[in-house]
């Protein structure tokens, strides 16, 4: 899918695309290419989903963002593949002089999901914001690899990835900020934060720096911790069970990421998707659902129609 925005054109409503994995043991290879010419502006939302909640399969997707001088691109990817899908998602962003790119990856589905994201700043005044939000349960594994490349002076980047992990799920984060020779006045941040909702959950973080120039400001860090017992006790004292209380605290944990989304309707869509994932976890997860009946095709169509209605609400067009 190619999205081309000419010079000085601003798209007010978000452009929304669906990529479906239809049937078990299938494979899908979605590719989104966004080209924003100078001083153009656009918001693009990709939904990656399976028509069978428990379906297996392979998903290998690519999204490329080419941001021209003074252009602004917001890209949001909702990953909600089936519970037995293996997923690979590759992101490449290139930002020219005074351009701005913001990407958010929401990882909720798949058995194993690897996401590689690279942002390259090639013009003075270029800015890149890389955001990630993941909710894991059962034995889900999220593998996140990031690279922030500052090739010229006077560029800015900020990365914030947050993971909430329940049951025996696992996250891996390995990120690198690279400042090229001569790229003075670089301002770069990298932060990975993990919240463990279960003692058996696991989070491995390896943030890194490669600085080949002086006169820069670069910081990186990672934190992993469990739910604050005092906060959980406060909720339990008001009749909320421990599991639900922990998930409510996880909602607050994600707000720092969601608040960075300029479009409030998209922010609400992210909150809704996270809430639906937590509801499925409380009810036993996707694996507890019954096998599809002979009317599964009708159900798939109904699912897709509901998603379209959600998009109209997201765009502010619903009655």
DSSP string, 204-273: EEEEEEEE-SSS-EEEEEEEEEE--HHHHHHHHTTT--HHHHHHHHHHHHHHHHHTT-S-HHHHHHHHHH
Please indicate, yes or no, if residue 318 is contained in any of the structural domains.
no
User: Nearest 10 degrees: CA dihedral of 192, 212, 188, 77?
Assistant: -60
Strand partners, 223: 193
pLDDT confidence of residue 246: 87
Over 50: is that where the pLDDT of 289 sits? no
Please indicate, yes or no, if residue 99 is contained in any of the structural domains.
yes
Range of weakest confidence among 74-78, 153-157, 201-205, 247-251: 247-251
Q: What is the number of domains present in the chain?
A: 1
What are the C-alpha distances in Å from 228 to residues 43, 223, 239, 245, 285? 36, 14, 17, 11, 24
Termini Cα distance of the chain = 29
Please indicate, yes or no, if residue 85 is contained in any of the structural domains.
yes
At residue 40, the 3 state secondary structure works out as: coil
Please indicate, yes or no, if residue 231 is contained in any of the structural domains.
no
pLDDT confidence of residue 285: 53
| For residues 95-116, average pLDDT | 97
Please indicate, yes or no, if residue 232 is contained in any of the structural domains.
no
Please indicate, yes or no, if residue 182 is contained in any of the structural domains.
yes
pTM: 0.88
Distance between CA atoms of 126 and 149, rounded to whole angstroms? 11
What are the C-alpha distances in Å from 233 to residues 219, 227, 236, 252, 310? 34, 10, 5, 16, 36
Distance between CA atoms of 148 and 132, rounded to whole angstroms? 14
| For residues 280-293, average pLDDT | 56
Over 90: is that where the pLDDT of 264 sits? yes
Please indicate, yes or no, if residue 289 is contained in any of the structural domains.
no
Instruction: Please indicate whether residue 181 or residue 316 has the higher confidence score (pLDDT).
Output: 181
- Give the contacts of 207 (CB within 8 A, at least 6 positions apart): 173, 174, 175, 176, 190, 191, 192, 220, 221, 222
CB 72 within 8 A of CB 43: no
Over 60: is that where the pLDDT of 307 sits? no
Please indicate, yes or no, if residue 60 is contained in any of the structural domains.
yes
Q: What percent of the chain has pLDDT over 70?
A: 89
Over 80: is that where the pLDDT of 200 sits? yes
Q: Is the dihedral of CA 46, 79, 176, 103 positive or negative?
A: positive
Over 60: is that where the pLDDT of 16 sits? yes
Over 50: is that where the pLDDT of 66 sits? yes
| For residues 226-248, average pLDDT | 89
Over 60: is that where the pLDDT of 72 sits? yes
10 Å CB burial of residue 290 (0-12, 13-18, 19+) is exposed
| For residues 265-283, average pLDDT | 90
pLDDT confidence of residue 295: 45
Range of weakest confidence among 33-37, 70-74, 229-233: 229-233
| For residues 112-140, average pLDDT | 97
| Core vs surface per residue 294-305: b (16+ CB within 10 A) or e | eeeeeebeeeee
Distance between CA atoms of 50 and 46, rounded to whole angstroms? 13
CB 108 within 8 A of CB 280: no
Distance between CA atoms of 67 and 91, rounded to whole angstroms? 14
Q: What rounded mean pLDDT belongs to the chain?
A: 90
Range of weakest confidence among 34-38, 157-161, 312-316: 312-316
pLDDT confidence of residue 281: 85
The range of the structural domain enclosing residue 9 comes to 2-225
Q: Is the dihedral of CA 160, 204, 171, 195 positive or negative?
A: negative
Tell how many helices (H) and how many strands (E) occur in the chain: 4, 17
Strand partners, 177: 148, 209
């Amino acid at each position: 899918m190619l999205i081309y925005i000419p010079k000085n054109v601003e798209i007010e409503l978000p452009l929304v695309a669906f990529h479906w994995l239809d049937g078990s043991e299938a494979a899908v290879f979605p590719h989104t290419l966004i080209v924003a010419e100078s001083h153009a502006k656009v918001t693009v939302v990709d939904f990656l989903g399976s028509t069978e909640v428990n379906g297996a399969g392979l998903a290998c997707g690519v999204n490329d963002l080419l941001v021209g001088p003074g252009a602004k691109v917001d890209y949001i990817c909702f990953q909600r593949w089936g519970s037995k899908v293996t997923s690979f998602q590759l992101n490449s962003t290139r930002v020219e002089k005074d351009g701005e790119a913001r990407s958010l990856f929401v990882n909720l589905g798949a058995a194993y999901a690897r996401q590689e994201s690279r942002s390259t700043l090639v013009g003075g005044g270029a800015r890149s914001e890389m955001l990630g939000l993941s909710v894991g349960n059962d034995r889900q594994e999220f593998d996140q690899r990031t690279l922030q490349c500052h090739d010229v002076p006077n560029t800015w980047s900020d990365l914030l990835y947050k993971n909430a992990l329940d049951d025996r799920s696992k996250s891996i984060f390995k990120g690198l900020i690279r400042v090229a020779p001569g790229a003075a006045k670089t301002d770069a941040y990298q932060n990975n934060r993990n919240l463990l909702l279960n003692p058996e959950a696991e989070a491995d973080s390896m943030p890194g720096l490669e600085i080949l120039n002086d006169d820069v400001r670069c910081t990186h860090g990672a934190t992993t911790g469990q739910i604050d017992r005092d906060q959980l006790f406060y909720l339990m004292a008001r009749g909320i069970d421990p599991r639900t209380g922990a998930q409510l605290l996880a909602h607050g944990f994600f707000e720092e990421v969601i608040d960075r989304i300029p479009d409030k309707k998209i922010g609400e869509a992210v909150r809704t998707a996270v809430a639906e994932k937590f509801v499925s976890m409380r009810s036993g997860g996707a694996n507890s659902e019954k096998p599809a009946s002979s009317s599964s095709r009708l159900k798939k169509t109904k699912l897709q129609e509901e998603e379209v209605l959600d998009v109209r609400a997201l765009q502010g067009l619903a009655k």
